[in-house]
A and B are shown apart, each in its own frame.
Chain A
Amino acid sequence: MSEFKVVGQSVPKADALDKVIGRAKFAADISFPGMLYAKALRSPVAHGILQHIDYSAAAALPGVAAVLTGKDVPGANNFGIIIKDEPVIVKNGEKIRKIGDTLALVAAENEAIAEQALALIKVDIEELTPVLCPIAAMQPDAPKIYDKGNVLAVRKIVKGDTEAGFRDSAVVVQQQYKTQMVEHAYIEPEAGIALFDGDVVTMWVSTQNPHYDAKEVARNLNIGLNKVRVIQAATGGGFGGKLDVSVQVHLAMLAVVTRRPVRMVYSRTESIKNSVKRHPYTITMKTGADANGRLTAFECTIIGDTGAYASYGPGTLTRSAVHATGPYEIPNVKITAYTVYTNNPQAGAMRGFGVPQVAFAHEAQMDMLAEKVGISPLEIRLLNALRPGSLTATGQYLEQSVGIVSTLEAAAAKVREIKLERRGGRL
């Protein structure tokens, strides 16, 4: 019997009942009398300077309650979890860094009027050459997306002496890997609804981090953090894609200006075009082992396309670097990871945070080494797996709860039980 009474029990999920009867309120399910509908005008160009915006016709359209542009942002006009580099609304004379940058906001009596209003806004953009490849973006003569340069962050890990490690290796495998940009594709698109009672802005929003959202709203509206109340509505998945600000600041501004409830719900296309993505990586890995298959040295370079804004990019790359060895103890390690700005959609957090990319690479390396040494994939992993007492690439001493060997054993036992047959021999 378990030592616990409640922990370890598969009790029914707390929210399941409301969800099966259709009573759970997602943000798009919430409405208030007199509610307005918000839409954003987004940049059609990837890199440019907003020269002029004329919204007089939109503002004059019957049924339009407000049109806001960059000059109407009362506070900082920037946000970002790590680096505040993304504008709430691009101001005249300022830079556009990706397709989808917000140029204006409209709140109207219904969605159709809001759409019509967007079509009436005239923008004049001076186009700049977009930078679309992170490797090209790193070249000294590449067009600068930011004055400080295009390399957002560099992370280095050095342990031992890899040159000596490779010298002592019996086998070495080296390979370049590429991974693609992917979409979170939560089934619920971004959505929120905001109210302003003359004192406090309250909003219900689909989010993974309401406390962060509140901070960005307060900074950009230039009001006290205690005057912002963000309530997470039932949220239809996130997978990292709802860690960044989407509708939050826009809604708060419109609610304050119009003094009416305002709702904003992305269409699927808007969601895919404007949300963060999983970082595409170019990874070069070199791994050495002795004749028995014990790992001796590991070198890895990672270049990640973080797109137009930092989002969780620096954090993702740090995590990739730290995890690049895989769950193995390697005495000599050298890892360099670059996060680079481009004019592509911004990449941020996505379930796995930069580790699925490196796992794809380090696990291929393990299989290639095993083949060269003449042992099985399971054997090479068991031989090198971290254990209590191991030192990681960052020099962290692992004391306890290091279950990689147990998972290898559990998986292998199941593989035998259900008779999965490896063509190349033993598992």
Chain B
Amino acid sequence: MKKRGVGMGCMWYGVGNTGLPNPAGAHVDILDDGTVLVLTGCADIGQGSDTALAQIAAEEIGVRYEDVRVVSADTGVTPDAGATSASRQTYISGNAVRSAARAAKQLILETAAEMLGVSQEEIIAGDRLLKVRAASGKSQAFTDCQSECRVGLGLDSGSDTREVSIAEVIAKCRMKGKLTLGHGWYNPDTTGLDAETGQGRPYATYAFATQVAEVEVDEDTGEVTVLRVVAAHDVGRAINPRNVEGQIEGGCAIGMGYALMEEIKLQEGNVLNCNFATYLLPTSLDVPEIYPLIVEDPEKTGPFGAKGVGEPALIPTAAAIANAVYDAVGVRITDLPITPDKILAKLKEKQNKGA
């Protein structure tokens, strides 16, 4: 008989290397036409760091996503950003890129402030424009003075210039011999752990998640089918929600393989199942319906509040599936993977006890 069950799994995951310095660096160059080049050592292995870092740079500088090109992971060109591991790149390289972008933007703001005749704090950037904040107390006298200023700078007096384009500001910068380059780096705030008690601050921030799995267990064959997985992840801030969902869905699939199918078989240290015919991965027919839920509890020290999601995505899946199997048929498998053999053996044991 087939029986359904539902189980829950939670996790937390410290972002970055454990209790160790793990800095990342970045360079940002705002080019003559207002487009942006980001140089970062961060290796994009498909998870989407080039995209997230471009979004972070665009947001910080006030240009569009398509204005930013990320050149990544070339030791001849890019600064070290550490490993793409520990779910650290959005948080750590994200902060590095953001601070490099801020440094480059600072140079633009100085010139823009002159051009707009306001203080830097009164300028907001976005969509390729630098605008005077609506609430700015810029008086008429100030505006007049500013037009004079513009004439002085060789621009048209611009009747009421409340904004300039980034490209215009860059042109001005270049006229003054100013390049708009920024460098930045970030190292998360951690401490080492005490050798005897492990006390300390291993990570600057943690990601959290709850997953709930629904399974169907065939009591006759021991086979487990995962039907649905709800996966709620606190990522701080989703820089790119679709890509975050992609991480969650992919993580659930690997987590499902871990729970039910995958195992390296060794004989005297030799891997026996060393191809995809014998080491089975989840296929499109195996993966359940996944409901990714993005929860945003912004991290103060994260770039725009972001933490990370790469690894968290798969951590609670096996746990949730194991608990769901128990809910379905009342047996707890304590060694992974949860294979039909193990379920049948436990079911039999349970029956014998009952008899």
Among A11, A231, A315, A421, which residue has its beta carbon within 8 angstroms of that of B75? A231
CA–CA, A7 and B228, complex, Å: 30
Pairwise interchain contact A13-B243, C-beta atoms closer than 8 A: yes
**Segment at the A interface, from B26-34, B150-158, B175-183, B209-217:** B209-217
Residue among A11, A176, A395 facing the most chain B CB atoms (10 A cut-off):
A11
B215-245 interface code vs A (CB 8 A; 1 in, 0 out): 0000000000000101111101111111100
Pairwise interchain contact A236-B46, C-beta atoms closer than 8 A: yes
CB-defined contacts of A6 to chain B, threshold 8 Å: 55, 58-59, 64-65
Among B214, B234, B315, which residue has its beta carbon within 8 angstroms of that of A355? B315
A135-162 interface code vs B (CB 8 A; 1 in, 0 out): 0000000000000000000011111000
CB-defined contacts of A364 to chain B, threshold 8 Å: 319, 322-323, 326, 332, 334
Pairwise interchain contact B230-A415, C-beta atoms closer than 8 A: yes
Q: Residue of A at shortest CB range from B43?
A: A232
Pairwise interchain contact B11-A210, C-beta atoms closer than 8 A: no
Interface positions of B from 55 to 102, Cβ below 8 Å from A: 55-56, 58-59, 62, 64-65, 70, 72-76, 80-86
**Segment at the A interface, from B159-167, B189-197, B346-354:** B189-197
Q: Does A194 contact B (CB under 8 A)?
A: no
Q: Does A180 contact B (CB under 8 A)?
A: yes
Given contacts A356-B315, A356-B318, A414-B291, contact A323 B6 (CB under 8 A): no
CB distance from B40 to the nearest CB of A (A): 11
Pairwise interchain contact B83-A243, C-beta atoms closer than 8 A: yes
Among B58, B73, B80, which residue has its beta carbon within 8 angstroms of that of A231? B73
Q: Residue of A at shortest CB range from B236?
A: A401
Q: Residue of A at shortest CB range from B270?
A: A99
Among B199, B269, B281, which residue has its beta carbon within 8 angstroms of that of A159? B199
Residue among B5, B7, B8, B202 facing the most chain A CB atoms (10 A cut-off):
B8
Pairwise interchain contact B198-A327, C-beta atoms closer than 8 A: no
CB distance from B128 to the nearest CB of A (A): 10
Pairwise interchain contact A13-B51, C-beta atoms closer than 8 A: yes
Among B13, B45, B239, which residue has its beta carbon within 8 angstroms of that of A238? B45
Pairwise interchain contact A345-B85, C-beta atoms closer than 8 A: no
CB-defined contacts of A344 to chain B, threshold 8 Å: 266, 269
CB distance from A194 to the nearest CB of B (A): 13
Among B51, B75, B264, B302, which residue has its beta carbon within 8 angstroms of that of A277? B264
Q: Does B10 contact A (CB under 8 A)?
A: yes
Pairwise interchain contact B269-A9, C-beta atoms closer than 8 A: no
CB-defined contacts of A356 to chain B, threshold 8 Å: 255, 258, 314-315, 317-319
**Segment at the B interface, from A181-189, A255-263, A286-294:** A181-189
Q: Does B174 contact A (CB under 8 A)?
A: no
Pairwise interchain contact B234-A404, C-beta atoms closer than 8 A: yes
Pairwise interchain contact B208-A403, C-beta atoms closer than 8 A: yes
Pairwise interchain contact A404-B318, C-beta atoms closer than 8 A: no
Pairwise interchain contact A181-B335, C-beta atoms closer than 8 A: no
CA–CA, A359 and B314, complex, Å: 10
Given contacts A178-B336, A356-B255, contact A393 B198 (CB under 8 A): yes
Given contacts A235-B46, A422-B327, contact A179 B201 (CB under 8 A): no
CB-defined contacts of A242 to chain B, threshold 8 Å: 45
Pairwise interchain contact A406-B279, C-beta atoms closer than 8 A: no
Q: Does A123 contact B (CB under 8 A)?
A: no
Pairwise interchain contact B318-A360, C-beta atoms closer than 8 A: yes
CB distance from A13 to the nearest CB of B (A): 5
Among A214, A359, A368, which residue has its beta carbon within 8 angstroms of that of B315? A359
Pairwise interchain contact A321-B198, C-beta atoms closer than 8 A: yes
Q: Does B343 contact A (CB under 8 A)?
A: no
Pairwise interchain contact A156-B197, C-beta atoms closer than 8 A: yes
CA–CA, A182 and B275, complex, Å: 13
A401-418 interface code vs B (CB 8 A; 1 in, 0 out): 111101110111011001
Pairwise interchain contact A343-B43, C-beta atoms closer than 8 A: no
Interface positions of B from 265 to 301, Cβ below 8 Å from A: 266, 268-271, 273-276, 279, 281, 291, 293, 295-300
CB-defined contacts of B62 to chain A, threshold 8 Å: 5
A203-242 interface code vs B (CB 8 A; 1 in, 0 out): 0000111111110000000000000111110011111101
CB-defined contacts of A177 to chain B, threshold 8 Å: 334-335
CB-defined contacts of B307 to chain A, threshold 8 Å: 401
Pairwise interchain contact A323-B198, C-beta atoms closer than 8 A: no
Pairwise interchain contact A351-B238, C-beta atoms closer than 8 A: no
CB-defined contacts of B281 to chain A, threshold 8 Å: 185
CB distance from A165 to the nearest CB of B (A): 16
Q: Residue of A at shortest CB range from B271?
A: A273
Q: Does A8 contact B (CB under 8 A)?
A: yes
Q: Residue of A at shortest CB range from B238?
A: A8
CB-defined contacts of B332 to chain A, threshold 8 Å: 364, 368
Pairwise interchain contact B266-A411, C-beta atoms closer than 8 A: no
Given contacts A130-B269, A156-B198, A209-B85, contact A407 B311 (CB under 8 A): no
CB distance from A394 to the nearest CB of B (A): 5
CB-defined contacts of B70 to chain A, threshold 8 Å: 14
Q: Does B184 contact A (CB under 8 A)?
A: no
Pairwise interchain contact A208-B84, C-beta atoms closer than 8 A: yes
Q: Does B103 contact A (CB under 8 A)?
A: no
Pairwise interchain contact A273-B274, C-beta atoms closer than 8 A: yes
CB distance from A316 to the nearest CB of B (A): 9
CA–CA, A66 and B96, complex, Å: 43
Residue among B18, B65, B270, B334 facing the most chain A CB atoms (10 A cut-off):
B18
CB-defined contacts of B11 to chain A, threshold 8 Å: 323, 326-327, 355, 359
Pairwise interchain contact B76-A401, C-beta atoms closer than 8 A: no
Q: Does B12 contact A (CB under 8 A)?
A: yes
Pairwise interchain contact A395-B75, C-beta atoms closer than 8 A: no
CB distance from B261 to the nearest CB of A (A): 10
Pairwise interchain contact B336-A180, C-beta atoms closer than 8 A: yes
Pairwise interchain contact A359-B319, C-beta atoms closer than 8 A: yes
Q: Does B188 contact A (CB under 8 A)?
A: no
Pairwise interchain contact B300-A401, C-beta atoms closer than 8 A: yes
Q: Does B127 contact A (CB under 8 A)?
A: yes
Given contacts A10-B243, A363-B8, A411-B212, contact A345 B271 (CB under 8 A): yes
Pairwise interchain contact A377-B84, C-beta atoms closer than 8 A: no
Pairwise interchain contact B269-A394, C-beta atoms closer than 8 A: no
CA–CA, A323 and B315, complex, Å: 11
Q: Kindly list 8 other residue pairs between chains A and B, CB separation below 8 angstroms, not including A235-B46, A319-B18.
A: A14-B70, A15-B51, A157-B198, A185-B262, A210-B74, A352-B311, A394-B199, A404-B208
Rank and list the top 6 A-B pairs by shortest CB-CB distance, nearest first.
A403-B234, A157-B198, A46-B269, A403-B297, A10-B242, A232-B73
A-B contact pairs, 6 of them (CB 8 A): A8-B241, A157-B199, A243-B85, A359-B316, A394-B193, A414-B212
